[in-house]
Structure 1
Amino acid sequence: MTGVTGTRAISLAALALVLAACTPASQDQLARGAAKSVVARAAAERLPGVPVAPYTDCIIDNATSQQILVLAADSVTGPTASTWEIITGIARKPETLQCLLTNGVSALLQ
């Protein structure tokens, strides 16, 4: 394994070890917190001037558990192009778009 794929695999393995020692509720909270941090960093980089907190909340609230885990692993190495692909995939979901509209991030949709 080399490059981003190898780094992501190692990050996922490390995250799995940390989460294994936690209760299910703590696991979810830790993974969501880590995923939220990488989404916020990616949004700040890619969407200057956009309010990051509501955008990040909408993304995390509409991500699958698998997407949360991958994003959480990316928090170790920082956002990459594939991180942004996951984020934009989540952002395209109808429920995410509704969340963005409801929470005042409609400038993103124009």
Structure 2
Amino acid sequence: MKLVLIPALAALFTLSACGDDGLADQLARKEAKDTVRPVLAKRFPGVPLEPATDCVIDNASAGEILKLARAGVTGLGPEETQLVVEIATRPDTIECLLKDGLSPFLLKKA
């Protein structure tokens, strides 16, 4: 089934330059998130996956998102795994994680 998606995703990736919040961008981000989640789960155990995934995607460039989205279709390799780790350890991503990803776990409930 994934082989059928490759031509469709290729067309969408081409169109993604047309607008940041368009359908192509949303689909690429969703596919990229599906690629990022397992890497975060393996490399950063215990990190809340959804907020951490959002932080990684929000701090990735458009080209990086497309590369990760392609990996979701063609298969995750060492290069894409390293890219996820690189994005996850950027200062802006760490700041996002501290603000949005981990703060609910760090705040004490009164």
Instruction: Work out whether the TM-score is over 0.5.
Output: yes
1:51-107 alpha-carbon deviations (Å, 9 max, x no partner):
11111000000100000000000001333221121112212322111101112448x
**After the TM superposition, which residues 86-97 of structure 1 pair with which residues of structure 2 at under 5 Å, given as runs?**
86-97=83-94
Greater CA radius of gyration, 1 or 2? 2
1:15-63 alpha-carbon deviations (Å, 9 max, x no partner):
3224457874011001011001100122123333321111100000010
**8 Å Cα contact 2:13-2:66 kept in structure 1:** no
Q: 1:102 to 1:76 in 2, by over 3 A?
A: same
Q: Does 1:16 align with 2:10?
A: yes
Q: 1:20 to 1:67 in 2, by over 3 A?
A: closer
Q: Percent of pairs identical after alignment?
A: 43
**After the TM superposition, which residues 4-43 of structure 1 pair with which residues of structure 2 at under 5 Å, given as runs?**
14=7, 15-20=9-14, 24=19, 25-43=22-40
Aligned partner of 2:48 in structure 1 is 51
The farther-off stretch of 34-43 and 78-87 is 78-87
Structure 1 consecutive aligned stretches of length 4 or more whose deviation exceeds 3 Å: 18-24
The alignment's C-alpha RMSD in Å is: 2.5
**8 Å Cα contact 2:34-2:72 kept in structure 1:** yes
**8 Å Cα contact 1:41-1:79 kept in structure 2:** no
**8 Å Cα contact 1:19-1:27 kept in structure 2:** yes
- Alignment gaps of 5+ in structure 1: 1-12
Paired AA for residue 16 in structure 1: A
Distance (Å, rounded) in 1 between the aligned partners of 2:102 and 2:81: 18
Q: How many residues are matched?
A: 95
Q: 1:87 to 1:105 in 2, by over 3 A?
A: farther
